């Protein structure tokens, strides 16, 4: 099976009506799509360590969710004289690796595949609710809120996140004893509002969300709102786990779909949290 056939199968499965623009960020990043595929690796990001692991696995095709070349659209002209770019590119070329970015198709599928994997990793998939088609903004319309069967506490959610997402430390706002039932999974950049920084705050207020689990943050928007809510005795809380930890597990649960569509051995390689912590 050729690499291009794998790409075509995934596009067809996630976007059968071709709604995702051909000019989206889901592009071939480097390599030859006409090569036969010998093994597939899926990952949040094709870091140097991920590429080396793929080579060790004997895989020649990496499906990455996020950029390889340090900017949103994987542009490389500005990097031509950059040593890190040069060495990383040569590593890929020397080992005949092909890398394709699979981002927009995952998020725009009938059910967001990143959210699906996030829910599965937390054991909450059965609590994920459909979006409100009449919602006032893109977040309210999206399938991203979990309505737990039983009320819990912020502390219990923090423990679950730490254990199931392999987190070394977690930033949060709120009283650990706060009651939590309705949770918004604002993974990746969703916590920034997806085009309007007011969207997460409207979601939490309009839909009575108790807790936002966030990827990226801006400290003067949602976090400032949650902080003031706590100062006013309003039951709202937030947890910040970062872009990578919030989306990585969507790639983990992509393995079964890729193997189902291609019958090619597919391996998940964790790109790992990018930061170390000094405490």
pLDDT tens-digit series, residues 267-277: 999 999 999 99
- Output the pLDDT for position 279: 81
* Whole-angstrom distance, CA of residue 116 vs CA of residue 233: 33
Q: Which of 7, 138, 114, 3 is nearest to 59 (CA)?
A: 3
Q: pLDDT exceeding 90 applies to what percent of the chain?
A: 99
**Are 217 and 191 in contact, with CB atoms under 8 Å apart?**
yes
- Note the pLDDT of residue 113: 98
Instruction: Name the binding residues for a divalent metal cation.
Output: 65, 243, 247
Q: Is the pLDDT of residue 23 over 90?
A: yes
Q: Estimate the crossing angle of helix 3-14 against helix 255-262, to 10 degrees.
A: 120
pLDDT of residue 73 exceeding 90 = yes
DSSP 36: B
Q: How sure is the predictor about 29, in pLDDT bands with cuts at 50, 70 and 90?
A: very high
Q: Is the pLDDT of residue 72 over 90?
A: yes
Q: How many CB atoms lie within 10 A of CB 54?
A: 24
Using alpha carbons, list the distances in angstroms from residue 195 to 4, 63, 166, 216.
32, 26, 30, 13
Question: Does 122-243 match 3-102+254-268 at the fold level?
Answer: yes
Q: In CATH, what number does 3-102+254-268 get? A: 3.40.1390.30
Per residue in 125-155, pLDDT tens? 999 999 999 999 999 999 999 999 999 999 9
- Rounded CA Rg of the chain: 20
Dihedrals φ, ψ of 54, to 5°? -65, -40
Q: What average pLDDT does this structure show over 209-237?
A: 98
- Phi first, then psi: what are they for 183, rounded to 5°? -125, 130
User: Alpha-carbon distance 82 to 76, whole Å?
Assistant: 10
Could you identify the residue written with the tokens 């969507």? Answer: 250
Give the model confidence (pLDDT) of 152-162 as tens digits: 999 999 999 99
As a whole number of angstroms, the distance between CA 35 and CA 1 comes to 8
- CATH 3.40.50.300 is the classification of domain 122-243: no
- Residues flagged as binding site: 65, 243, 247
Segment 73-102 shows an average pLDDT of 99
Token readout for 26 is 């889901």
- Separation in Å, CA 132 to CA 4, 106, 146, 196: 36, 20, 13, 18
Residues 47 and 64: their CA atoms lie apart, in Å, by: 10
Alpha helices in 58-164 (DSSP H): 83-94, 104-108, 113-122, 138-141, 154-164
**How far apart are the two ends of the chain, measured CA to CA in Å?**
49
| Mean predicted lDDT score pLDDT of the chain | 98
Domain ranges of the chain: 3-102+254-268, 122-243
Burial class (CB in 10 A: 0-12, 13-18, 19+), 62: buried
Q: What pLDDT does residue 238 have?
A: 99
Q: Read off the pLDDT band of 18 (50, 70, 90).
A: very high
Q: Would you say 50 and 30 are in contact if contact means Cβ atoms under 8 Å apart?
A: no
């Amino acid at each position: 099976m050729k690499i291009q056939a794998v790409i075509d199968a995934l596009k067809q499965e996630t976007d059968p009506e071709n709604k995702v623009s051909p000019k989206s960020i889901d592009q071939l990043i480097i390599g030859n799509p006409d090569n036969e595929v010998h093994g597939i690796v899926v990952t949040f990001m094709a870091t140097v360590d991920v590429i080396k692991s793929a080579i060790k696995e004997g895989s020649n095709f990496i499906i990455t969710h996020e950029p390889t070349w340090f900017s949103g659209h994987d542009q490389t002209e500005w990097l031509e004289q950059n040593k890190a770019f040069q060495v990383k590119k040569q590593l890929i070329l020397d080992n005949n690796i092909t890398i394709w970015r699979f981002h927009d198709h995952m998020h725009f599928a009938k059910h967001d595949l990143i959210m699906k994997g996030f829910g599965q990793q937390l054991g909450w998939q059965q609590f994920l609710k459909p979006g409100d088609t009449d919602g006032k903004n893109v977040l309210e319309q999206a399938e991203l809120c979990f309505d737990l069967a039983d009320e819990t506490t912020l502390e219990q959610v923090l423990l679950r996140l730490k254990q199931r997402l392999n987190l070394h430390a977690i930033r949060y706002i709120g009283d650990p004893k706060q009651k939590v039932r309705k949770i918004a999974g604002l993974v990746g950049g969703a916590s920034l509002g997806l085009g309007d920084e007011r969207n997460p705050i409207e979601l939490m207020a309009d839909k009575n969300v108790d807790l936002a689990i966030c990827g990226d943050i801006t400290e003067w928007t949602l976090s400032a709102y949650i902080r003031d809510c706590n100062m006013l005795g309003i039951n709202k809380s937030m947890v910040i786990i970062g872009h990578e930890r919030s989306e990585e597990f969507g790639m983990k649960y992509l393995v079964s779909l890729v193997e189902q569509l291609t019958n090619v051995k597919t391996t998940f390689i964790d790109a790992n949290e990018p930061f170390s912590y000094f405490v």
